[in-house]
């Protein structure tokens, strides 16, 4: 099998057996990026020199018996993670000239485990978007159909993995930004429990919602990466000090007796019929493996989108206030005074969607509207979290569609923010409640992939990964590859 078609787990075994070296593997993937990425625009920065140097170091370490969990394995980082000496843009003109002086904790942990960074992936500006069309560097294209969106905001990460330019990539998920692009590109996307993975060095969008995770081609690969990424970090005040289990240890165990919740509200009119049918087929496969299904009620889940679009903009308006043209980032030229510098630097540096959310956030936090909007949204957020807690008293996990439809054409929703926001209707609830969730490929609609969404209780990643892995032992949707990128 060609190296680029192997999963992270298969590549790890190949390196262990000496079938190839990390330098050979890295060069193969860099060659594919050079040949294929012009069609996709999945990368903002390709770090060829650094990657080959890291691969050579990994080969030397392997020869000396110092083998980390990801030793010599090439990965891609979403361009929201600070990388020392490498440009970190967040997909924005505002940070087009920013080179971070330090590594994010996720980046450092991956490096310590021996991973090789191929580059930084394209993304919606400051992670605000569901289609990867808000990036200052242009839209990313879906490998399954270049006229379609790969989803967002981690669209570059998802496209690079789906097109076999990299075996795995990091991502971030604020309202579905790992899971939705995973569903739309036929990859696996995992958002861990809030606080399970450090947010230090991950440029903030909405601090109570943002969570680092990964996009891979199998649940087993996701388990391998999570074992490296997870853990307490004293530099992150939201990090949770809880032991990290061996996520690979129990992944092969049966799911017989697993109680799977099916949400009554998921059959609403917004769900495309065939997409819903693929999710039902996937749940039927779980039943054939010994799982049982239970209908659960999340009465407030329909309020998740409006709740999110009050809370997230409020937090983003605060987080992005630091980008003022003074300390770092884009600075307007020939400013008349300090106020002019602030206004023009922000006006020139931010795109339309970011401006829209900053203005919305400033509005809902203003003196006359704080109680009516922001406080009310936080109260509804608690109701949504309580609904999940009640549901998990009766079930082990909740399953349904990841997105209401397969990938849409680029440009179809970019002028209609409400329709764009509704693409995350099934994923946002897990962020509001801080729950772990993942998407696994479960079929196709009109030759475009769709995903099965699995949500677990807090720190239920082991169960999600086991369920996803066992499902993938019975199906082969996750090994399907876009024809043009085989």
Predicted pLDDT at 421: 85
Q: Is residue 47 part of a domain?
A: yes
Quote the Cα angle for 274-279-284, to 5°: 120
Asked if residue 267 has pLDDT above 80, the reply is no
pLDDT in tens, 53-93: 999 999 999 999 999 999 999 999 999 999 999 999 999 99
User: Rounded distance, CA 234 to CA 200, Å?
Assistant: 9
Predicted pLDDT at 115: 98
Neighbours of 19 (CB within 10 A): 14
Nearest 5°: phi and psi at 219? -65, -35
User: Rounded distance, CA 315 to CA 56, Å?
Assistant: 42
- Checking DSSP bridges between strand 437-445 and strand 188-191, what pairing results, if any? antiparallel
Mean pLDDT of the region 142-152: 98
Q: Which of 20-34, 75-89, 418-432 has the lowest mean pLDDT?
A: 418-432
Mean pLDDT of the region 149-177: 98
Q: Is residue 342 part of a domain?
A: no
Catalytic residue among 78, 93, 109, 120: 78
Catalytic (active site) residue 317: no
Catalytic residue among 92, 130, 135, 153: 153
Alpha-carbon torsion (211, 215, 218, 221), positive or negative:
negative
Range 153-185 burial, b when 16+ CB lie within 10 A, else e: bbbbbbbbbbbbbbbbbbbbbbbbbbbbbbbbb
Asked if residue 269 has pLDDT above 80, the reply is no
Mean residue pLDDT of the chain comes to 96
Using DSSP's 3-state secondary structure scheme, residue 304 falls into helix
**Per-residue confidence band for 270, with pLDDT thresholds at 50, 70 and 90:** confident
Q: Is residue 93 part of a domain?
A: yes
Evaluate if pTM is beyond 0.85. Answer: yes
**Residue 259 burial by Cβ neighbours in a 10 Å radius (0-12, 13-18, 19+):** middle
Q: Which of 1-10, 211-220, 266-275 has the lowest mean pLDDT?
A: 266-275
The H or E element containing residue 171 is strand 169-173
Query: Which residues does residue 405 pair with via DSSP β-bridges, in sequence order?
Result: none
Q: Is residue 54 part of a domain?
A: yes
The answer for residues whose C-beta is within 8 angstroms of residue 78's C-beta and 6 or more apart is 120, 121, 123, 154, 156, 157, 169, 170, 171, 172
Closest C-alpha among 218, 280, 279 to residue 468: 218
Q: Taking the chain, what is the end-to-end CA distance rounded to the nearest angstrom?
A: 11
CA 135, chain centre distance (Å): 16
Ramachandran sector of residue 434 (left: φ over 0; alpha: ψ -120 to 50; beta: rest): left
Using DSSP's 3-state secondary structure scheme, residue 415 falls into coil
pLDDT in tens, 244-253: 999 999 999 9
pLDDT in tens, 291-326: 999 999 999 999 999 999 999 999 999 999 999 999
Q: Is residue 42 part of a domain?
A: yes
CATH number (domain holding residue 65): 3.90.1300.10
DSSP 76-143: EEETTB-BTTBB--TTSGGGTT-B-SS--HHHHHHHHTT-EEEEEE--SGGG--SSS-S-TT----BT
Using DSSP's 3-state secondary structure scheme, residue 395 falls into coil
Predicted pLDDT at 1: 58
What would the two tokens of residue 308 be?
Answer: 């999110």
Query: Which residues does residue 398 pair with via DSSP β-bridges, in sequence order?
Result: 261, 455
Asked if residue 129 has pLDDT above 80, the reply is yes
Q: Is residue 237 part of a domain?
A: yes
pLDDT in tens, 366-395: 998 999 999 999 999 999 999 999 999 999
User: Rounded distance, CA 359 to CA 205, Å?
Assistant: 14
By residue range, what is the domain housing residue 80? 3-256+429-485
Using DSSP's 3-state secondary structure scheme, residue 162 falls into helix
Asked if residue 46 has pLDDT above 90, the reply is yes
The H or E element containing residue 166 is none
Predicted pLDDT at 414: 84
**Per-residue confidence band for 416, with pLDDT thresholds at 50, 70 and 90:** confident
User: Rounded distance, CA 176 to CA 172, Å?
Assistant: 9
Q: Is residue 264 part of a domain?
A: no
The H or E element containing residue 154 is none
Mean pLDDT of the region 103-109: 98
Domain count, the chain: 1
Predicted pLDDT at 418: 82
- Checking DSSP bridges between strand 437-445 and strand 448-455, what pairing results, if any? antiparallel
DSSP 19-83: SS-HHHHHHHHHHHHHHHHHHH--EEEE-HHHHHHHHHHHHHHHHTT---TTTT-EEEEETTB-B
pLDDT in tens, 168-220: 999 999 999 999 999 999 999 999 999 999 999 999 999 999 999 999 999 99
**Per-residue confidence band for 328, with pLDDT thresholds at 50, 70 and 90:** confident
Alpha-carbon distances, residue 118 vs 33, 95, 96, 279, 472 (angstroms): 9, 20, 19, 34, 27
Alpha-carbon distances, residue 94 vs 138, 324, 347, 351 (angstroms): 15, 9, 10, 9
Catalytic residue among 92, 130, 177, 218: 177
DSSP 176-218: STTHHHHHHHT-EEEEPPTTSB--TTB--SSTTT-EEEEEESS
User: Rounded distance, CA 20 to CA 351, Å?
Assistant: 44
Ramachandran sector of residue 127 (left: φ over 0; alpha: ψ -120 to 50; beta: rest): left
Catalytic (active site) residue 389: no
Catalytic (active site) residue 177: yes
Cα torsion through 138, 329, 313, 40, rounded to 10: 20
Q: Is residue 127 part of a domain?
A: yes
């Amino acid at each position: 099998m060609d190296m680029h078609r192997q999963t992270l787990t298969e590549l790890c075994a190949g390196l262990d057996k000496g079938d190839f070296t990390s330098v050979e593997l890295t060069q193969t993937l860099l060659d594919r990026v050079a040949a294929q990425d012009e069609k996709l625009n999945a990368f903002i920065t390709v770090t060829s020199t650094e990657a080959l140097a890291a691969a050579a170091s990994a080969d030397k370490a392997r020869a000396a018996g110092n083998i980390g969990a990801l030793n010599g394995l090439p990965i891609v980082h979403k361009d929201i993670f600070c990388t020392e000496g490498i440009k970190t843009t967040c997909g924005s003109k505002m940070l087009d000239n920013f080179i971070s002086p330090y590594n994010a904790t996720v980046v450092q942990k991956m490096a310590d485990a021996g991973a090789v960074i191929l580059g930084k992936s394209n993304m919606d500006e400051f992670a605000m978007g569901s289609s990867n069309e808000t990036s200052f560097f242009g839209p990313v294209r879906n490998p399954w159909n270049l006229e379609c969106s790969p989803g967002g905001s981690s669209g570059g990460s998802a496209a690079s993995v789906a097109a076999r330019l990299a075996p795995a990539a990091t991502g971030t998920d604020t309202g579905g930004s790992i899971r939705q692009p995973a569903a739309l590109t036929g990859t696996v996307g995992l958002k861990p429990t809030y606080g399970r993975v450090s947010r230090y060095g991950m440029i903030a969008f909405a601090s109570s919602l943002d969570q680092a995770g990964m996009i891979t081609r199998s649940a087993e690969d996701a388990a391998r990466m999570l074992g490296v990424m997870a853990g307490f970090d004293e530099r992150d005040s939201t990090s949770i000090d809880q032991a990290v289990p061996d996520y690979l240890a129990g992944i092969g165990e049966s799911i017989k007796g697993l109680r799977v919740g099916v949400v009554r509200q998921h059959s609403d009119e917004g769900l495309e019929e065939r997409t819903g049918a693929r999710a039902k087929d996937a749940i039927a496969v779980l039943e054939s493996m010994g799982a049982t299904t239970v209908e659960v009620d999340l009465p407030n889940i329909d309020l998740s989108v409006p709740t999110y679009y009050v809370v997230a903009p409020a937090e983003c308006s605060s987080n992005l206030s630091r980008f003022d043209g003074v300390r770092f980032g884009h600075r307007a030229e020939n400013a008349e005074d300090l106020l002019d510098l602030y206004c023009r630097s922000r006006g020139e540096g931010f795109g339309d969607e970011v401006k829209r959310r900053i203005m919305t956030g400033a509005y809902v936090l203003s003196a006359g509207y704080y109680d009516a909007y922001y406080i009310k949204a936080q109260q509804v957020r608690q109701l949504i979290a309580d609904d999940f807690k009640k549901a998990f008293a009766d079930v082990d996990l909740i399953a349904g569609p990841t997105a209401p439809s397969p990938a849409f054409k680029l440009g179809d929703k970019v002028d209609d923010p409400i329709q764009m926001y509704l693409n995350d209707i099934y994923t946002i609830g897990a962020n509001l409640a801080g729950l772990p969730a993942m998407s696994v490929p479960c079929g196709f609609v009109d030759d475009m992939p769709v995903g099965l969404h699995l949500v677990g209780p807090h720190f239920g990643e082991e169960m999600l990964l086991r369920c996803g892995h066992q499902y993938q032992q019975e199906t082969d949707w996750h090994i399907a590859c876009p024809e043009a990128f085989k």
